Amino acid sequence: MTKRTRHGTILQIIDDQAIGTQEELVAALAQHHITVTQTTISRDIAELGLVKVRGSNGQMRYARRGAPDQDRLGALAQALRTWALGLSASGNLVVALTPNGYADPLAQAIDQSGHPAILATIAGENTVLIISTEGIPGSELKSELEALAAIDPQIEVSQPRPIG
């Protein structure tokens, strides 16, 4: 068994099931007829850059770097509900309109979310420019952000909704 094969199996396992501890990962590898020590698993986790994220069930689990974390996505949803008046999309861009002075906290919440489809943000006084990663259309990201925050998709930047 090569390290490359073992690493591939580890990635497959964490993609397919919620693995929260090194012991669970050792047991899952054993089901694939791969016997490893705790030291090896610890080193593999570091080499693969795995992170712990909170899953939809609230439990911590191993994931690939950049995987969505329910805590961070929840914070992003709250920030969008609190500060976003409306969203519009163009190309690979999404524009969020905020009340005056609230673009910066919204941009910071977006950046901290680690959302895999978001490359960067630029904040003005009342507008946040959200740039999607390569291959993700702005309209798709806009729809995802609206669904995440339960923002009415009929409300565009040109037609801000009232706060409250």
- 65-84: pLDDT as tens digits: 766 556 677 788 889 999 99
State residue 158's pLDDT score.
42
What number is the average pLDDT over the span 51-56? 75
Q: In what order do the strands lie in the sheet containing 118-123?
A: 86-90, 93-97, 127-132, 118-123
> Would you mind telling me the total number of residues written for the chain in this entry?
164
What's the distance, CA 149 to chain centroid? Answer: 14
Q: What's the chain's Rg over C-alpha atoms?
A: 19
The number of folded domains in the chain is 2
State residue 161's pLDDT score.
45
Partner residues linked to 87 by β-bridges: 96
What type of residue is 140? E
Domain that holds residue 84: 70-149
Residue 10 CB: number of other CB atoms within 10 A?
A: 24
In this structure, the answer to whether residues 38 and 89 fall within a common structural domain is: no
In this structure, the answer to whether residues 50 and 82 fall within a common structural domain is: no
pLDDT score of 48 more than 70: yes
Read off the pLDDT band of 151 (50, 70, 90). Answer: low
In this structure, the answer to whether residues 84 and 103 fall within a common structural domain is: yes
The CATH number given to whatever domain includes residue 134 is: 3.30.1360.40
- 101-111: pLDDT as tens digits: 999 999 999 98
Q: Is residue 14 part of a domain?
A: yes
